[in-house]
Amino acid sequence: QNTMVLSAAIFITLIGLIMYLHFVKIDQESLLVIGSLGIQVTSSYASGKESTTFIEMSQVKDVVINEAIHMQKVIYYLCILLQDPGDPQGVSEVVPLFQSSKPRLDCLIEVYKSCQEILEQRKTVPQ
pLDDT digits (tens, 9 = 90+) for 4-50: 899 999 999 999 988 887 777 888 999 999 988 999 999 998 878 89
Looking at the structure of the chain, the number of domains it has is 1
Domain that holds residue 17: 1-124
Distance of CA 45 to the CA centre of its chain: 13
pTM: 0.75
Which contiguous run of DSSP H or E holds residue 111? helix 105-124
For 83-119, the pLDDT digits (tens) are 988 887 889 999 999 988 889 999 999 999 999 999 9
Instruction: Classify residue 103 as exposed, middle or buried by CB count within 10 Å of its CB (0-12, 13-18, 19+).
Output: middle
Instruction: Classify residue 29 as exposed, middle or buried by CB count within 10 Å of its CB (0-12, 13-18, 19+).
Output: middle
Which contiguous run of DSSP H or E holds residue 95? strand 91-96
Phi, psi of 53 (to 5 degrees): -125, 135
